[in-house]
Structure 1
Amino acid sequence: MIDLLKKLFEQRQKKITVILLDDSKPDEDNSYMVYPNGLFGMILGISTVFAIFVALVFMLTPLGGLLYSTDDAEIRAQILEVTQKAIALEDSLRQRDMQLREMKNIIRLSIDTTLAMDERFDNLFDPNDPFQNSDFINFDESAQFNRLSQNEVLFSNVSKTAPDFPAKYPVQGSLTRGYMPDDEHYGLDIATKNNEPVINIADGSVFNSSWTINNGYVISVQHSEGVVTTYKHLSKLNKKEGDLVLKGDILGEIGNAGVLSTGPHLHFEIWKNGVPQNPEVYLIK
């Protein structure tokens, strides 16, 4: 076969006659006129068409995976790694959503503020005799009564002056949750920015300023006529217990403080004679 191809290649420029002999029929012969160049061109064309056909089959059908399996191994490994990372990220997002739901349930269902005052302040809630004494009464560790000598004249005026309502909101911001006593939410949530000053809404005296895990810094002010205001989720306090404060004084600064806080905001409450009030009735924008 190789010798035949060599002969054809040598005679490629010439016209040759190909004779086919059948041994079973020696008297018959079949002869054909052949141009080697044309024969080689036909063979090359058929081979090219076949190669293109095979390439298309591998490119457009799953058979290509058999040819490129070695080269695709690294790509498949990368795809697998990306898939695993995506699954891990999805799990993290699912866990985060679960935590957010739990935090929302805590905020919605828990008692955000319950004003607890001991027996030393019971007389302050007597509607028939609020702040009868013009002197502010303080208590030492032995529960003995000590009268403050400073600011006596000022406090005398403060204790007998009814709070001036409606007052401006204690902080600049947006109301995000209202007064909902049925859900044990006895105040307003006002979203604002960090370090925003918290303004006292009426004359009075500070009887509680402390830090709590749930609510950050908390400050409560006693006003006349049995009115108490409470401010929660502060990051800083400017006043302490026993301080006399006037309307417009800065009590502290807002922060994202406390476990129950989901962002910088103020939780503000108004109580009167031990009963929670809707602060929106007492405030004006």
Structure 2
Amino acid sequence: MAKKTKKRKEIKRKLLHKYRLVILNESTFEEKISFKLSRLNVFVTGTLCIIALIGFTTLLIAFTPLREYIPGYSSTKLKRQATVLTYKTDSLVRRLNYTNRYLDNIRKVLRGDIENNEVSRDSLFGKFKLDPSTVDLTPIKQDSLLRAEVALEDKYNLFEQNTTNTDFILFPPISGIISQEYDANAKHYAVDVVAPKDSPVKAIANGMVIFAEWTADTGYVIIIEHKDGLLSIYKHNGSLNKKQGEVVRAGEVIASVGNTGELTTGPHLHFEIWNNGAPVNPTDFIDFK
């Protein structure tokens, strides 16, 4: 027991034993600074310094941009930027796919080519058109009551307006004699209208010019995009009055009749109408006389 007590006193004496740290001038041996230290003070001071250094380093990394240089660490800003870039990339991909499909349609219009397996809207209507003779058109009681109710409401409707949609009225691009009719079986998706050379060619409706260039087969060609997926194409022109990107109004002069291109036999206008990627007969909508 006495040995243990003596050993403890010896350890305590060593820890609390004072040492003097003196800083001297090397030339004159003049004492500049002196410190009284003990082993316990040195241990405690060193431990506190290490803890303070660790805390300062942690704060420096956590609240400064230095944390972004730590492998495996991703800041909130970087995550937000990555998310935004992902959305932009996805939007660009969708836009690119839409543009490619749109350009494919324009390319088909210029070539006048349709794949065999492509089905037009008119063919679908013809296929699923019902025969009125097979349908029982005898009005039922509920139908008669509804008709009477609607008629009564219309009779006393003071705010009735004309709901006829005139936006789909198409103006004739030119007046003349049709030399070749629309023939889908022969892949002639247009009407050829004979007219004097340099006669003005007009836009059939409001729209924007999306193509106005020279082609070897059909000469000067101008294509106008209208609303609701409608395209009007004018080929074999003698000259063009509009450029790509210009907005035109219905009835505005956009070109002149010519005889340009390898596939022409005289001054005339080769005119096509495409609706949502499928050709339609222009004479169903326009009177060229």
Q: TM-score range by the shorter chain?
A: 0.3 to 0.5
Structure possessing the higher radius of gyration over alpha carbons: 1
When the two structures are superposed, what TM-score results if normalisation uses the length of structure 2?
A: 0.43
